[in-house]
Chain A
């Protein structure tokens, strides 16, 4: 099996699995319990939070959630609600994940003025985001790395630019694809476990100490009342282990990308959709003349797993291709390959061979 769909999810690493099992057998208490089991469980949570903060290179708070979708919802609705008296303008982009764009739709329905920027309209998207912020803007939300094509937004540039313009405007970053791969700057940052070899079902929200956020779900008051619910001790332990196991610099990504683009150059009618300066581990390209779902199933018959965004598939086309200026025809034949640290150049060679075969068979 050659798994090249790591932007969708990654295989949990043995470190994460072991940490979870160890925790489940020895440290399974409820952190809110008064006895020793509770204390040990609380320690495990605290340790995991510290590890995540260290990795982010920040001081501040970490909240464990059920995943980045929850983290995004928590930040966006939480900040909008907390800051709505200061202003009602929000800036975001057209390339966001649905867990950001759907909350934005809801906020717009509730009366917030939501401005959404398209990369194709601005050569300097960071500048455009900063320029869109005014004194009525209470929140901006954007992704550090776009999951579909790997497009990068410079969070440092945006963060500092926005803060200079309006220090009260909160900066929320969807760090799902960027965590452990690039430095992230934001008042709140969403993180996802299953993109870095942890299990599905655990994520986190980083929050700057000064940023105000109101809770949207209510219950036992855990995690400072901002995210009620028994803390996910075993999964947090796994998340911690996965972060520790993730190398500071994964050099193989650029080698794999280079090898794949090299192969693609040898094939006819291929358009690379990912920007040159996009993230190394995501490469999105269109195989013109072959619908991507057909290529996907053909590759899977050979044991190679990639992703597609074709209109007829379960993963429906979002507004992202259009926002990047990618035509419907290109989007319909777009294949996304995403690496993890365990992929090899040999696997890329096999993929390339299979693509060539697929093109011969299916191209019209």
Chain B
């Protein structure tokens, strides 16, 4: 059973969000087996059709779907009070042994059930107390709430609530294009924006022979890992070598990084339009590296035709790394294959560039033909969930 959080606030649009969420869950579970996914009253019920389904895997998968606040596992028991008691006791063992206090809550959707809700609560509560004598009954603030729902198909008994990723269903708030490097930050940025309901595509800039095949493979691995949370991702790979060489040969080296990032955004503008995205996403944070001072960000920002979302802008490196570990991208990001952001890094980058100076340097060479050529040379790869 999956419960959603913010969607509950969405008023009239709510059923659209809910439908999208159900659709996303169905897609995610598709490869794991046959599941029946339905929604009723702010809860989504995911029922395995096969006897041998790996429910642990399904729970994990569903807890990674944005839009879901919590996931609960339930046992579906026969609608017989004796059976409910008999089977609940062992089923709830792990959860109850770790708890100090509990209470039982019962709901009856099926009013023909011979026991009333209070009676169910009493009977089951008593039996659980006997079975787990260390437990104290606490109706106000228990560690664990055992929920019994008597529905048409059976009695649902559950206890453990797993916190899911929260957020909004992917695709519910539009599409965005992420500038993906091989570093720690950009994958985390993707996660954070997908969490807010954006469907994310990715654009990457490679510069062979300065960057290697392995560096590209590393980025593709990151993309694949991101699909676990972001859903399917279309990956655009831009041949950037000529542009970087032209930049190195014609413009003051100290402005290299700023101008390079501006050119990347210009290319990203075009792809953003083509892929019907409404925003760009980068992993920029303030102060982490020389190119990420406010002044530098202000200069690069001016090259973008779309809002540039920078979800990491207020985060410390430590927090970013923690998230990267959580979403399993950290180990891949730290593999030592250079991406084009670090090739040609100037020794003395301009930390406080003035836009007039940047534009002046940039104007020393006409990048338009090379930009066009790079866009024409883009290769596309789809990473599906």
Cβ A294 vs Cβ B214 within 8 A = no
Give the contacting residue for A314; candidates B209, B210, B214; CB below 8 A. B214
Residues in B whose Cβ lies below 8 Å from that of A314 = 214, 336-337
Residues in A whose Cβ lies below 8 Å from that of B336 = 312, 314
Chain B residue nearest in CB terms to A295: B209
Residues in A whose Cβ lies below 8 Å from that of B212 = 293, 297, 313
Q: Is A298 interfacial (CB 8 A cutoff)? A: yes
Q: Is B142 interfacial (CB 8 A cutoff)? A: no
Interface mask (B194-223 → A, CB under 8 Å = 1, otherwise 0): 000000000000001111111000000000
A80, chain B: closest CB distance, angstroms? 34
Q: Are A300 and B214 also in contact (CB < 8 A) when A312-B336, A312-B338 are? A: no
Residues in A whose Cβ lies below 8 Å from that of B214 = 314
B343, chain A: closest CB distance, angstroms? 9
Q: Is A109 interfacial (CB 8 A cutoff)? A: no
Cβ A301 vs Cβ B338 within 8 A = no
Chain A residue nearest in CB terms to B213: A297
Residues in B whose Cβ lies below 8 Å from that of A296 = 209
Cβ B338 vs Cβ A297 within 8 A = no
Chain A residue nearest in CB terms to B342: A312
* In the bound complex, CA of A295 to CA of B214 (Å): 16
Interface mask (A300-313 → B, CB under 8 Å = 1, otherwise 0): 11000000000011
Give the contacting residue for B209; candidates A301, A312, A313; CB below 8 A. A301
B341, chain A: closest CB distance, angstroms? 14
Residues in A whose Cβ lies below 8 Å from that of B213 = 297
Residues in B whose Cβ lies below 8 Å from that of A313 = 212
Residues in A whose Cβ lies below 8 Å from that of B209 = 294-298, 300-301
B88, chain A: closest CB distance, angstroms? 51
**Which of B209, B213, B338: most chain A CB closer than 10 A?**
B209
Interface of A is mostly: helix
* In the bound complex, CA of A296 to CA of B336 (Å): 17
B288, chain A: closest CB distance, angstroms? 21
A303, chain B: closest CB distance, angstroms? 13
* In the bound complex, CA of A296 to CA of B210 (Å): 10
Residues in B whose Cβ lies below 8 Å from that of A297 = 208-213
- Residues of B in contact (CB 8 Å), total 10
* In the bound complex, CA of A313 to CA of B211 (Å): 10
A322, chain B: closest CB distance, angstroms? 21
Within A245-263, the residues touching B (CB, 8 Å) are none
* In the bound complex, CA of A296 to CA of B213 (Å): 12
A306, chain B: closest CB distance, angstroms? 13
A159, chain B: closest CB distance, angstroms? 40
* In the bound complex, CA of A295 to CA of B209 (Å): 8
Residues in B whose Cβ lies below 8 Å from that of A293 = 212
Interface mask (B172-210 → A, CB under 8 Å = 1, otherwise 0): 000000000000000000000000000000000000111
* In the bound complex, CA of A78 to CA of B213 (Å): 41
Residues in B whose Cβ lies below 8 Å from that of A295 = 209
* In the bound complex, CA of A298 to CA of B213 (Å): 12
Residues in A whose Cβ lies below 8 Å from that of B210 = 294, 297
Residues in A whose Cβ lies below 8 Å from that of B338 = 312
* In the bound complex, CA of A312 to CA of B335 (Å): 11
A356, chain B: closest CB distance, angstroms? 16
Interface mask (B262-302 → A, CB under 8 Å = 1, otherwise 0): 00000000000000000000000000000000000000000
* In the bound complex, CA of A298 to CA of B212 (Å): 10
Within A16-63, the residues touching B (CB, 8 Å) are none
* In the bound complex, CA of A314 to CA of B214 (Å): 10
A94, chain B: closest CB distance, angstroms? 24
Chain B residue nearest in CB terms to A301: B209
* In the bound complex, CA of A295 to CA of B211 (Å): 11
Chain A residue nearest in CB terms to B212: A297
Interface mask (A102-141 → B, CB under 8 Å = 1, otherwise 0): 0000000000000000000000000000000000000000
A315, chain B: closest CB distance, angstroms? 11
Residues in B whose Cβ lies below 8 Å from that of A301 = 208-209
Chain A residue nearest in CB terms to B343: A294
B161, chain A: closest CB distance, angstroms? 45
Chain A residue nearest in CB terms to B211: A297
* In the bound complex, CA of A313 to CA of B208 (Å): 14
* In the bound complex, CA of A301 to CA of B209 (Å): 8
* In the bound complex, CA of A301 to CA of B211 (Å): 12
Within B205-254, the residues touching A (CB, 8 Å) are 208-214
Residues in B whose Cβ lies below 8 Å from that of A298 = 209
Residues in B whose Cβ lies below 8 Å from that of A300 = 209
Within A263-303, the residues touching B (CB, 8 Å) are 293-298, 300-301
Chain B residue nearest in CB terms to A311: B336
* In the bound complex, CA of A293 to CA of B210 (Å): 8
Interface mask (B33-74 → A, CB under 8 Å = 1, otherwise 0): 000000000000000000000000000000000000000000
* In the bound complex, CA of A294 to CA of B342 (Å): 13
Residues in B whose Cβ lies below 8 Å from that of A312 = 336, 338
Residues in A whose Cβ lies below 8 Å from that of B208 = 297, 301
Within A310-351, the residues touching B (CB, 8 Å) are 312-314
Chain A residue nearest in CB terms to B215: A297
**Which of B208, B212, B338: most chain A CB closer than 10 A?**
B212
A236, chain B: closest CB distance, angstroms? 34
* In the bound complex, CA of A294 to CA of B208 (Å): 8
A35, chain B: closest CB distance, angstroms? 43
Residues in A whose Cβ lies below 8 Å from that of B337 = 314
* In the bound complex, CA of A312 to CA of B339 (Å): 12
A286, chain B: closest CB distance, angstroms? 18
Chain B residue nearest in CB terms to A364: B248
B345, chain A: closest CB distance, angstroms? 12
Q: What are some 21 contacts across the A-B interface (CB < 8 A)?
A: A293-B212, A294-B209, A294-B210, A295-B209, A296-B209, A297-B208, A297-B209, A297-B210, A297-B211, A297-B212, A297-B213, A298-B209, A300-B209, A301-B208, A301-B209, A312-B336, A312-B338, A313-B212, A314-B214, A314-B336, A314-B337
* Contacts beyond the supplied A300-B209, A312-B338: 12 A-B pairs with Cβ under 8 Å: A294-B209, A294-B210, A297-B208, A297-B210, A297-B211, A297-B213, A298-B209, A301-B208, A312-B336, A314-B214, A314-B336, A314-B337
Contact surface of A with B, Cβ cutoff 8 Å = 293-298, 300-301, 312-314
The 7 closest A-B pairs by CB, nearest first: A297-B209, A298-B209, A294-B209, A294-B210, A297-B212, A301-B209, A297-B208
